Chain A
Amino acid sequence: MTLLTQPTDSEPAPGAAASAQLATRQTLRLCTAGSVDDGKSTFVGRLLHDTKSVLADQLSAVERTSRERGHDGLDLSLLVDGLRAEREQGITIDVAYRYFSTAERTFILADTPGHVQYTRNTVTGVSTSQVVVLLVDARHGVVTQTRRHLTVAALLGVRQVVLAVNKIDLVDYSQDTFEQIREEFTALAQEKGVAEVTVIPISALRGDNVVEPSTNTPWYTGPTVLGYLETVEVTEATSELGLRLPIQYVIRPQGTDYRGYAGRIAAGHLAVGDIVHLGQGRTSTVTHIDTADGEAATATTGDSIVVRLADDIDLSRGDLIAGADRPEGSRDLTATLVGLADTPLRPGAKVKLRYGTSLVRARLTSIDSLLDIDTNHEHPGEAIELNDIATVTLQLAEDLPTEPYSGRGLVGSLLLINQADGTTLAAGLVR
């Protein structure tokens, strides 16, 4: 077993990176997924520990608890399982977000629960991730929950998935076992349409191939998980979309003529002088782009900006500023839904629907099919239960310029919300 030591003076400082690289360092957002007890939290703890991202006071707290629980080594999952109930039961209940950096990159990592009851929390973690690290237990291989999480990742537009075949120590570092799982998973990923799959044999407990290459797997010549994460080039599905700027808020300081439309660019880019399309045949010209850094000539996807226009037009929160390819307004919508609530959703249900910055009343017209995770087949259904994936038709109370899901949810994503208490009932992807 790899010795767990505290950082010493001769080692690189915890979490530190050369300051020269700070200026250009990029962020990678990722999450774990996989069935209960496959070792996700232990893996995250291992990753933090071996990148020297765990500070002495955190480590001694984990040492103390590990001892109290009678573990012979350190239980690294305690670094992430931050709720009392989680530590007591030894399972993860809700997503934990952790942050660490290496000289190459800054990572925002969501550790998600594997228990089927908490799948909605996994969906939460996956929705903001560029890369998903899916774990399986080498003794069990691909199980239903692996399939479900892979389906969710593919559905949400994650194009790069790492399959970490964990607990490889418990199958005597067997290459045969690894190869079998690799083949089965690669075929499955292809079926689900995941662009790029990397399969790595690891032991989160012992540290093999997480940060340090292992001598126990001489037959494996690929990267460690960290090595992969530090170098992977995140490919986004190429988006041909023009500007999409949902208006969040109108900025109008009292006693001035200033009128700016604030929002975060969901697709495309924009320059002063551009003609923008505002719906109902209205257009205007961009006269100013205001940013946190003052005025700018251009702005691009992801930027939070304020736009000023040449014409005085009635626009407010929920309206869309778009390029020439602005989608038509429509009251009918086909969407794939993921059930997130304990109460089932049935045809006829009246809900609120959030799309971008709009919030409108809507009705679930019909459930067209439900997806069977195990067989990948679609079948008819009466209700959408927690964790179900369904194709549905919705009717909206107002016209909305909706369009198919893309850009990992910046465009075409929606929520269904309970009108009475405000809870989130389902997440949806416009088809």
Chain B
Amino acid sequence: MSTTTAGTLSPHLKDLENESIHILREVAGQFDKVALLFSGGKDSVVVYELARRAFAPAPVPFELLHVDTGHNFPEVIDFRDRLVKRTGARLRVAKVQDWIDRGELQERPDGTRNPLQTVPLVETIEEQGYDAVLGGARRDEERARAKERIFSVRDAFGGWDPRRQRPELWNLYNGGHLPGENIRVFPISNWTEADIWEYIGARAIELPPIYFSHEREVFNRDGMWLTAGEWGGPSKGEPIETRRVRYRTVGDMSCTGAVLSEASTVQDIITEISTSTLTERGATRADDRLSESAMEDRKKEGYF
């Protein structure tokens, strides 16, 4: 009756893996040209790993797309490039800097480039003619994301209209759309941060080293530990200190905070997040602190 599995995944994780692989195969079956948004962060790495398992022994039938803010952790770029080399994945990089250089985007006063990703993303989707774009967003990250469908229809401007979301029943995913529209697909919608880490542990998935405890020169801004860098920090009155930290999320360096941590293994991290009193975005994302609806507003404009 039961499968002869390696026995490393709990029934809960196995259920999530089965669901995600089903979604990824639906995407391959329903769409012509698909991009998988790949930042080198843990969620996109897990989506890529699921895709690898979904289509083995054939290569992943999606192109990787990295919207590069230019404010990168070098460790993450290095990890990304090594993964591409190892797996033979196709990688396309859309650089926010190019849009700034052409005068089509303007640097923000706070130096953060996270919100600037939307235009390059939407324009690259249009230019490349992607009809579906896979993302690693999870519903447990944020209240507006908790409202997102697995197949999310976006208008020609990439915009999300929460009032017009399609009903999504059973496991029948409807990828139908008008020319010019595209579908954003979130295969790990139902995973939590803890699920991601348990899976990374069980499947021995490699991650950029900044997810684990390391020494770093940081400074404190509004209670968040940021890395010193060209993008603008620290300013006067913000002393640089050396601390043992790790990152819970990876994004634009200017708005992604580190947490003080001694967790150096996946198991340590699972223990650490189970006792944390802050959500991962609350602890580490300045952009979500701007307002109660920051994420919803960004999504309406075409953000993930």
Bound-state Cα–Cα, A82 to B299, Å = 13
Pair count A-B, CB < 8 A: 211
- CB-nearest residue of chain B to A127: B169
Tally of A interface residues using CB under 8 Å = 87
- Decide if A354 is an interface residue (CB 8 Å cutoff): yes
Candidates B145, B170, B190, B274; contact of A108 at CB < 8 Å: B190
From known contacts A99-B139, A292-B21, infer whether A57 and B189 are also in contact, taking CB-CB under 8 Å. no
Q: At the interface, yes or no: A214 with Cβ under 8 Å from chain B?
A: no
Q: How far is the CA of A13 from the CA of B162 in the complex (A)?
A: 34
Determine whether the beta carbon of A422 is less than 8 Å from that of B54: no
Chain B residue contacts of A253, Cβ below 8 A: 57-59
Choose from A262, A354, A427 the contact partner of B167 (Cβ within 8 Å): A427
Asked if A25 CB lies within 8 Å of chain B CBs, one says yes
Residues of A close to B170: CB separation below 8 A? 127-128, 408-410, 413
Which of these binds chain B: A117-125, A135-143, A202-210, A235-243?
Answer: A117-125
Asked if B6 and A300 sit within 8 Å, CB to CB, the answer is: no
Contact among A56, A81, A296, A408 with B4 in the assembled complex (CB-CB below 8 Å) = A296
Q: How far is the CB of B270 from chain A (nearest CB, A)?
A: 8
CB distance from A149 to the nearest CB of B (A): 15
Does B17 lie within 8 Å of A304, measured CB to CB?
A: yes
Q: How far is the CB of A42 from chain B (nearest CB, A)?
A: 15
Find chain A residues with CB under 8 A from B178 CB: 421-422
B175 nearest in chain A by CB position: A422
B10 at the interface (CB under 8 A from A): yes
- Whether the Cβ atoms of A424 and B166 lie closer than 8 Å is yes
Instruction: Decide if B172 is an interface residue (CB 8 Å cutoff).
Output: yes
Verify A251–B166 contact, CB threshold 8 A: no
B52's nearest neighbour on chain A, judged by CB, is: A292
Of the candidates A96, A123, A304, A414, the one whose C-beta lies within 8 Å of that of B22 is A304
A15's contact among B5, B21, B29, B274, by CB below 8 Å, is which? Answer: B274
| CB interface residues, A 398-431, toward B, < 8 Å | 408-410, 413-415, 417-418, 421-424, 427
**Cβ of A82 and Cβ of B144 under 8 Å apart?**
yes
B276 within 8 A of A: yes
B163 at the A interface (CB under 8 A):
yes
Contact present for B5 and A296 (CB under 8 Å): yes
Nearest residue, chain B, Cβ from A68: B292
Q: Which of A16-24, A173-181, A370-378 contacts B (4 or more CB under 8 A)?
A: A16-24
B279 contacts which of A55, A249, A340 (Cβ < 8 Å)? A55
B6 touches A293 (CB 8 A): yes
Given the complex, which residues of B lie within 8 Å of A81, measured CB to CB?
Answer: 143
Expressed in whole angstroms, the Cα–Cα distance for A7 and B277 within the complex equals: 8
Nearest chain A CB to B17 CB, angstrom units: 6
A65 within 8 A of B: yes
Please judge, given known A-B contacts A97-B190, A424-B166, whether A248 and B143 are in contact too, CB under 8 Å: no
Assess whether B57 is in contact with A258, with CB atoms less than 8 Å apart: yes
B147 near A300: Cβ-Cβ < 8 Å: no
A124 contacts B167, CB within 8 Å? yes
Determine if B265 is an interface residue (Cβ-Cβ < 8 Å).
no
A52 to B102, CA, bound (A): 50
B273–chain A nearest beta-carbon distance, Å: 9
* A162–B294 CA distance with the chains assembled, in angstroms: 36
A22 with B10: CB separation less than 8 A: yes
* CB-based contact B58/A94 at 8 Å: no
A292 touches B17 (CB 8 A): yes
Find chain A residues with CB under 8 A from B12 CB. Answer: 25-27, 106
Contact of B171 with A by CB under 8 A: yes
Of all chain B residues, the one with the shortest Cβ separation from A422 is B176
- Asked whether, in the complex, the Cβ of B2 is within 8 Å of the Cβ of A298, the reply is yes
B221 contacts A by Cβ under 8 Å = no
Q: Which residues of B contact A340 (CB under 8 A)?
A: 167
Q: Which residue of B lies closest to A106 (CB)?
A: B12
Task: State the CA gap A300–B11 with chains docked (Å).
Answer: 13
Does B171 contact A410, Cβ atoms closer than 8 Å? yes
- Report the nearest A residue to B7, measured CB to CB: A293
Tell me which residues across on chain A come within 8 A of B55, comparing CB atoms.
Answer: 249, 251, 262
A354 to B145, CA, bound (A): 27
Residue in B174, B279, B282 whose CB lies within 8 Å of A422: B174
Question: Would you list which residues of chain B between 131 and 157 have a CB under 8 Å from chain A?
Answer: 139-140, 142-147, 153
Asked whether any CB of chain A lies closer than 8 Å to the CB of B106, the reply is no
Give chain B nearest CB distance to A430 CB in angstroms.
12
Provide a sorted-by-A list of 17 A–B residue pairs whose CB atoms are within 8 angstroms: A16-B274, A16-B275, A17-B274, A56-B278, A93-B162, A99-B190, A123-B167, A124-B169, A127-B170, A249-B28, A249-B55, A252-B58, A258-B58, A291-B5, A302-B18, A304-B17, A424-B174
Chain B residues engaging chain A, CB cutoff 8 angstroms: 1-6, 10-12, 15, 17-19, 21-22, 25-26, 28-29, 50, 53-59, 139-140, 142-147, 153, 162-163, 165-172, 174-178, 181, 189-190, 192, 194, 198, 270, 274-279, 282-283, 292-293, 296
Q: A57-B283, A304-B17, A409-B170 are in contact. List 13 more A-B contacts (CB 8 A).
A: A19-B270, A55-B282, A79-B143, A80-B146, A82-B296, A87-B292, A128-B170, A249-B55, A292-B53, A293-B5, A300-B3, A421-B177, A423-B176
The 9 tightest CB contacts between A and B, nearest first, are A422-B176, A82-B143, A57-B282, A409-B170, A16-B274, A304-B21, A127-B169, A253-B58, A248-B25
